[in-house]
Structure formats: structure tokens, C-alpha cells
């Protein structure tokens, strides 16, 4: 047995308890830190070879464990930019050096440039809708940009497409003369021609109204004695409302070039459309083309009905910004319309508890944690983003206080072993004297 060895063992015990006390101190200090994950200390024995009746004391080794995969409690706030993750995954953020890292701290607020930044100064990253609906890059952070929710200025979006749905009355009659059809831009139309109007937007956000005319042009013949067939073709003619005639009883004739769009719609005997239903509006005044989709129309024995929903947006200021559970950031405009701006992805690794902890409550992947895999919320096992909520730390304060008392007692006991060994060493030294 070595007295000096027992003293070394006591020193390893004191070092281990000091590490334990350090993790306790860190946990207590961060008990109110958003998204903080508790750390703990585990111990393993170090055994030295012994022989016969001589025992060589070894020691104890401490290692730090992270509870990154443990969910913290979610509390709700009044800020729509506060974000919490319910389930697996991490927000992708970047610091001043531009390096993407992972975090669960979603206490985001707007900085002076409109970027969403959390309390540690890390910017939230997402995919922009500037080039259409974004696609996730599953094995990297390419394509991610800072999420900016600045509400300054006006936004106008020109209409490029539209959808028209409804029903065309199968009992409508065919005009006696083709000249009375709307496409002829004649002075009169029959009562069986139905008219509706739809508002679209030009490049400056101005409203442009278009008049749609639907007229039956043909019915499929059926040989006797079969009942009359109900398959038919219809004409749709579209005009700029601003070019309509004034002062009369009808909008015809329209000026400035006539129709801006004209097409044929065909239906089978069951009232279902058999043509594509695609007809373009080509407006020379605004210099834009609007691809209209009429495939949602039916031809049944019911009154005419229809509704049009074009895309585009008037010149409207942003009133608010909202974020849904799929991570889509919407701009909500003063007129009540919304527009997707960004989509926030989540990232995960095979072993979250092995991630490298960095200052600012962020993590980076390493060889033990596994590679980072990126995806959208609620896909591939990733969690849901909750707006107006924050994930608290998963620290158990009562348990940490208990750990602190145990660490103090263990440290004191190890110090007594060291002190006793030191006293014995004094005795051995004094024997020589």
C-alpha cells in the first residue's frame, strides 16, 4: 500500500467532485435560459494492478453528459417571433462569423435590419420564397439565408395566373347567330350568355378588372331513338372592363382591340370538362399574361355560378408577420392577404447528446454525434414549430440543490483522506529525525 497513492486517489476524488460542482453551478445559473439543456457528471473507477496483500489505490474519473435530447417545458408568450420546437430537431442559426450552428433557443426578436436574432445574437436561418416554393437541402446548409421580417415599405405583385370554378347551366341555349356571341364583340348578347368579373393586379399593384362571358356554342348530336346528348362546347371570352362601352344598355362593343382572351371549353355527357381549361389573358395595356385555369367548371342542370381567384397583390403595407407549425413565415398585409416569405427548416443528428456545446447555447456536430440532417418541420421525425412560445431549460432545480450538497460532502470526505495521508507522511518524515 502506498500512502502517496492514497493521497493521489483523494486528489482525483476532489477533482471529480469539483467537476460535478461545476456542472451543478452551470445548471443553476442557466435554470431560466431559453432552450438550455442540463449537463451532469458521471463517474468511472480507475483501478491499478495489485498483488498479494498490497492494494494500490487507483482513483476516479469524471465525464460530462448532456441531456440535449430531453424536452424542456413549453410556455406561451405574447410575441409571434418567439419559437419553440415540440419534438426533435434544432433551429439553424449563424453567428457573426457566418458559421451555421444548431440551437433550441428560439427567443427571436427583430434587430435594426429586420433579421430575427435570439438573445445570444445568433440569426435564424431559412429558405426564401423569392424563387418559388423552396426545397430543403438534406445534407448541408446551402441555400439558407437570414430570416428578415422587416415591415417597411409597400409590396405589389402582378397577377400571373388565376383559377375560375363554378357551374355552367346545361339548359342554356345556343345563340341563333354567331354574331351575337361575345367573341364577336357585338352590340347585343342573348340572355343565355352569362357574365362575371374578376379583379387582377398589374405590375404596380393597380387593380385591373376583367369581364368573363360564357356562351354555349354547340351540343353533341345523338342518333334516335337515344335521348338528346348533353355533351357540349362553350366559349369563354374575356375583356378589359375599362374598355367597355358607356352610355348604353350593354358593355359591347369593347374598345381598344376587343377581347384580351378567348377559348373553347368542352364537356362530356356527365357534365365534366374534357378540355384542358387553360385560356390565357393577354393584356397589351399592362403588358402581362395571366394563365387562367377553367378546369374546375362543370356543366350540370343548375343555375350558373362562378368565382375567380387570381394571384397577385395590390400595393399594400405589411401589417404583421406570422409563423405556422410547418415553419412557413407569412407576411400579413393590411388588406388581410398573406404571402409566404421564408420556410424555417430544422436539423438533427443521430446522437444529440454527443453534440459539441458552444457559447451562446448553440451546438455543432462532431464525429460522435453524427452528421447533420436537415428537413422541414413535421417531416422525417422532426418536431413542430410553435409560434408565440418558448422552450424552457430542462434543469430540475431541486435535484441540482441535492447534487450540490452531495458534492460538497464528497469533496470534504476526500479532503479528509488527503489530510490523513499528509499526517501519516509527517510521521514517516519525523521517524528519520
Q: What is the 3-state secondary structure (H, E, C) of 148-171?
A: ECCCCCEEEECCCEEEEEEEEECC
Q: Is 429 helix (H, G, I), strand (E, B) or coil?
A: helix
Identify the helix (H) or strand (E) that includes residue 179: none
Q: Answer whether residue 323 is part of any domain.
A: no
Split at pLDDT 50, 70, 90, the class of 184 is confident
DSSP letters of 73-140?
A: PEEE-S-TTBEEEESS-EEEEE-TT--EEEE---B-EE-TTSBEE-TTSPEEEEEESTTSS----TTS
Q: Which three cell numbers stand for residue 282?
A: 393577354
Identify the helix (H) or strand (E) that includes residue 279: strand 278-283
* Pick from 37-46, 214-223, 339-348, 418-427: least confident: 214-223
Does one domain contain both 179 and 205?
Answer: yes
Does one domain contain both 102 and 57?
Answer: no
Find the domain containing 352 and state its range: 81-148+343-391
Q: Answer whether residue 423 is part of any domain.
A: yes
Does one domain contain both 112 and 226?
Answer: no
pLDDT for the residue 222 = 58
Q: Answer whether residue 326 is part of any domain.
A: no
Query: pLDDT above 90 covers what percent of the chain?
Result: 64
Q: Answer whether residue 324 is part of any domain.
A: no
Q: Answer whether residue 243 is part of any domain.
A: yes
pLDDT for the residue 427 = 82
Q: Answer whether residue 24 is part of any domain.
A: yes
Q: Mean of the pLDDT values across residues 286-312?
A: 94
Q: Find, among 330, 287, 335, 343, the residue nearest to 158 by Cα.
A: 287
Task: For cell 343555375, name the residue.
Answer: 303
Q: How many domains does the chain have?
A: 3
pLDDT for the residue 178 = 66
Does one domain contain both 260 and 383?
Answer: no
pLDDT for the residue 405 = 95
Does one domain contain both 417 and 303?
Answer: no
Q: Find, among 74, 80, 155, the residue nearest to 116 by Cα.
A: 80
Q: Answer whether residue 368 is part of any domain.
A: yes
Does one domain contain both 305 and 177?
Answer: yes
Q: What is the mean pLDDT of the chain?
A: 89
pLDDT for the residue 151 = 73
Does one domain contain both 191 and 251?
Answer: yes
Does one domain contain both 259 and 279?
Answer: yes
Phi/psi-derived region of residue 132, left when phi > 0, alpha when psi is between -120 and 50, beta in every other case: left
DSSP letters of 298-357?
A: EEESS--EEEEEE--EEEEEEEEEEE-TT-EEEEEETTS-EEEEEE--EEE-S-GGGSEE
Does one domain contain both 164 and 267?
Answer: yes
Q: Is the dihedral of CA 153, 327, 363, 76 positive or negative?
A: positive
* Residue 182 Cα to chain centre, angstroms: 46
Q: Answer whether residue 74 is part of any domain.
A: no
Split at pLDDT 50, 70, 90, the class of 236 is very high
Where is the domain boundary, 315, 331, 360? 315
**pLDDT tens digits for range 386-408:** 999 999 999 999 999 999 999 99
pLDDT for the residue 274 = 94
**pLDDT tens digits for range 409-426:** 999 999 998 888 888 888
Does one domain contain both 209 and 292?
Answer: yes
Q: Find, among 196, 222, 220, the residue nearest to 209 by Cα.
A: 196
pLDDT for the residue 264 = 95
**pLDDT tens digits for range 39-65:** 999 888 888 777 767 777 778 888 889
Does one domain contain both 214 and 114?
Answer: no
Does one domain contain both 14 and 110?
Answer: no
Amino acid at each position: 500500500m502506498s500512502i502517496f497513492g492514497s493521497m493521489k486517489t483523494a486528489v482525483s476524488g476532489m477533482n471529480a467532485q469539483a467537476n460535478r460542482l461545476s456542472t451543478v453551478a452551470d445548471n443553476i445559473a442557466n435554470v431560466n435560459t431559453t432552450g438550455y439543456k442540463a449537463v451532469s457528471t458521471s463517474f468511472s473507477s480507475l483501478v491499478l494492478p495489485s498483488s498479494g496483500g498490497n492494494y494500490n489505490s487507483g482513483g476516479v474519473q469524471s465525464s460530462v453528459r448532456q441531456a440535449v435530447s430531453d424536452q424542456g417545458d413549453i410556455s406561451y408568450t405574447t410575441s409571434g417571433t418567439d419559437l419553440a420546437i415540440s419534438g426533435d430537431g434544432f433551429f439553424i442559426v449563424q453567428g457573426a462569423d457566418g458559421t451555421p450552428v444548431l440551437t433550441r433557443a428560439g427567443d427571436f426578436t427583430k434587430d435594426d435590419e429586420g433579421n430575427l436574432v435570439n438573445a445570444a445574437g445568433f440569426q435564424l436561418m431559412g429558405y426564401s420564397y423569392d424563387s418559388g416554393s423552396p426545397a430543403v437541402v438534406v445534407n448541408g446548409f446551402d441555400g439558407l439565408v437570414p430570416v428578415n421580417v422587416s415591415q417597411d415599405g409597400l409590396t405589389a405583385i402582378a397577377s400571373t395566373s388565376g383559377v375560375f370554378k363554378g357551374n355552367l347551366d346545361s339548359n342554356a341555349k345556343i345563340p341563333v347567330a354567331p354574331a351575337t356571341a361575345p367573341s364577336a364583340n357585338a352590340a347585343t348578347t342573348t340572355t343565355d350568355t352569362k357574365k362575371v368579373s374578376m379583379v387582377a393586379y398589374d405590375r404596380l399593384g393597380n387593380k385591373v378588372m376583367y369581364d368573363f362571358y360564357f356562351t354555349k356554342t354547340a351540343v353533341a348530336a345523338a342518333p334516335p331513338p337515344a335521348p338528346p346528348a348533353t355533351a357540349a362546347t362553350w366559349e369563354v371570352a374575356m375583356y378589359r372592363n375599362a374598355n367597355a362601352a358607356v352610355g348604353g344598355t350593354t358593355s359591347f362593343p369593347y374598345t381598344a382591340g376587343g377581347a384580351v382572351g378567348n377559348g373553347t371549353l368542352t364537356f362530356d355527357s356527365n357534365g365534366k370538362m374534357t378540355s384542358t381549361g387553360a385560356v390565357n389573358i393577354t393584356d397589351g395595356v399592362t403588358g402581362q399574361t395571366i394563365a387562367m385555369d377553367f378546369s374546375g367548371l362543370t356543366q350540370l342542370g343548375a343555375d350558373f355560378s362562378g368565382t375567380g381567384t387570381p394571384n397577385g397583390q395590390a400595393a399594400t403595407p405589411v401589417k404583421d408577420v406570422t409563423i405556422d407549425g410547418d415553419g412557413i413565415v407569412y407576411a400579413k398585409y393590411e388588406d388581410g392577404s398573406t404571402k409566404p416569405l421564408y420556410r424555417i427548416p430544422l436539423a438533427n443528428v443521430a446522437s444529440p447528446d454527443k453534440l459539441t456545446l458552444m457559447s451562446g447555447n448553440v451546438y455543432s456536430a462532431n464525429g460522435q454525434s453524427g452528421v447533420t440532417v436537415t428537413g422541414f418541420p413535421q417531416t422525417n421525425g422532426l418536431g413542430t414549430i410553435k409560434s408565440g412560445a418558448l422552450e424552457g431549460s430542462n434543469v430540475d432545480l431541486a435535484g441540482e440543490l441535492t447534487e450540490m450538497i452531495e458534492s460538497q460532502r464528497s469533496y470534504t470526505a476526500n479532503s479528509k483522506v488527503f489530510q490523513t495521508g499528509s499526517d501519516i507522511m509527517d510521521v514517516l518524515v519525523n521517524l528519520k529525525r
